[in-house]
Homo-oligomer: A and B are copies of this chain.
Amino acid sequence: MKHKLFAILFLFLTINLKAQNNDSLVLSKIFKEALKKGEAYTMLDSLANGIGGRLSGSIQAQKAVEWGYRTMVNYGFDSVWLQPVMVPHWVRGSKEECYLKITQKSHFYREKLNICALGGSIATPILGITAKVIVVDSISDLVKLGRDKIEGNIVLFNRPMDESQVGTFTAYGGAVDQRWAGPSIAASYGAVATLCRSMEVGLSHYPHTGSMRYTDSLPKIPCAAIATIDADELAKQCKLHPDAEVTIKMSCETLPDELSYNVIGEIKGSKYPNEIVVFGGHLDSWDNGDGAHDDGAGCVQSIEVLRLFKALNLRPERTTRAVLFMNEENGLRGGKKYAELALMNKEKHIAAIESDEGGFTPRGFGLTADSLKFKKFQTWAPLFYPYHIYEFLPHGGGADIGPLREQGVPVLDYKPDSQRYFDFHHTEIDTFEHVNKRELHMGAAALASLVWLIANNGW
């Protein structure tokens, strides 16, 4: 397989040498401009620091829509518009606390645990929920324990992300079922609340929020993420003191849906204006940090792609369109609306690219498409080697462009280095100062380069 790929690569290299020389020049210009005069970092400053966390339905999300629209209008792209979409409006509320209480003889000991409600969770009663804690490693562990052991208790899902995985997204994929599906399954066995070990590779006192889904037919119970160090401490104390109790108080609630928007800007293609290469990130973020990596980075990189084209007088043959999707974090309404309208308007998307893995140093891209397109995609790889970008992998996509993939659109994702992502993901430290300017700009240049290659050459 590897030999076959090399042979194909060899063939394409020969045929495409001339075209690639031009492309190589374009990429060199894109990277130079991005590194020397890039504006993604300044944009991110105004989004992350100027507006902050921007969960769907919040005033900050509305401000972010205005910010995105104004930013793209000011850059003078060919068209800038909004796509209305109704989004969920969950709010964390002012109360969010968790205490462990251990009674030993006549003494008792109380310890604060760092938690945060999972997005979509219901509140606890005002006085909180107090119960013993059953620690499980997995959903199947919980099922094995059965209703006898679970009923009336709080369940702590405590399986860590597997740090031996080289890619942290793989480790995330191996642990996130506890957060996503855990609460309803625990409820089905009579649990009164769940705590989920934070999706972090390693240890800290920061709880990582994230979305979960209640099963309609089951009772809804409050659910929170607990910081990894606190989860370990809680598990240890529960073992030492079987009578230990935890009190959780949360005042989160789901309000009526709100009107919000996808924000879109584009540059018309010079030759095939009806063929569209779309790329984007999501404009909403969790509320605890300022959403700099997740996904302010993807948003400003997407705007920067069009800005780079304008600044360098590049007009690809096909239309290039940046989309700031609304509501990726807890509903995907923006992504669904975009795909729905694309279908309705009979738009021809030749590719969709998502940047939603943080603003870290670029490593490559993934593509889900037929094998001919994949082969062409791989012939572009050598153009990226001067920028230390080597990965042109099968399987790409992203949550926001998932609905486009269902329509048969080839989907790609921008892959930055993943080692640091889950230090910040969905925490109060996903903030602007944890984004490195050069890494962010290298990413914008990488994205712009790929968009250029697809939009100018087609598949």
Are A164 and B419 closer than 8 Å at their CB atoms?
A: no
- Residue numbers in B under 8 Å from A201 (CB-CB): 438
- Known: A6-B10, A9-B6, A35-B166. Is A436-B417 also a contact (CB below 8 A)? no
- Shortest distance from the beta carbon of A15 to any chain B beta carbon, whole Å: 13
- Shortest distance from the beta carbon of A31 to any chain B beta carbon, whole Å: 6
- Shortest distance from the beta carbon of A268 to any chain B beta carbon, whole Å: 29
Q: How many copies does the complex hold?
A: 2
The CA-CA distance from A246 to B102 in the complex, in Å, is 64
- Shortest distance from the beta carbon of A23 to any chain B beta carbon, whole Å: 16
Interface members, chain A 391-418 (any B CB < 8 Å): 391, 417
- Residue numbers in B under 8 Å from A167 (CB-CB): 388
Interface members, chain A 418-438 (any B CB < 8 Å): 419-420, 423, 436-438
Any B CB within 8 A of the CB of A81:
no
Any B CB within 8 A of the CB of A151:
no
Any B CB within 8 A of the CB of A439:
yes
Any B CB within 8 A of the CB of A110:
no
- Residue numbers in B under 8 Å from A31 (CB-CB): 164, 166
Interface members, chain A 141-182 (any B CB < 8 Å): 163-168
- Known: A10-B3, A35-B164. Is A420-B391 also a contact (CB below 8 A)? no
The A contact surface, by secondary structure, is helix
- Shortest distance from the beta carbon of A387 to any chain B beta carbon, whole Å: 6
Any B CB within 8 A of the CB of A36:
yes
A 375-388 to B, binary, CB cutoff 8 A, 1 in contact else 0: 00000001000111
The CA-CA distance from A13 to B1 in the complex, in Å, is 12
Any B CB within 8 A of the CB of A390:
yes
A–B pairs, 30, beta carbons within 8 Å: A2-B13, A3-B10, A3-B14, A6-B9, A6-B10, A31-B166, A32-B164, A35-B163, A35-B164, A35-B165, A35-B166, A36-B163, A36-B164, A166-B387, A166-B388, A166-B442, A201-B438, A202-B437, A361-B361, A361-B419, A363-B388, A388-B391, A390-B390, A417-B417, A419-B436, A419-B438, A419-B442, A420-B438, A420-B439, A423-B436
The 10 closest A-B pairs by CB, nearest first: A390-B390, A36-B164, A419-B438, A32-B164, A35-B164, A419-B439, A361-B417, A361-B419, A420-B436, A35-B163
A residues whose Cβ falls under 8 Å from a Cβ of B: 2-3, 6, 9-10, 13-14, 31-32, 35-36, 163-168, 201-202, 361, 363, 382, 386-388, 390-391, 417, 419-420, 423, 436-439, 442
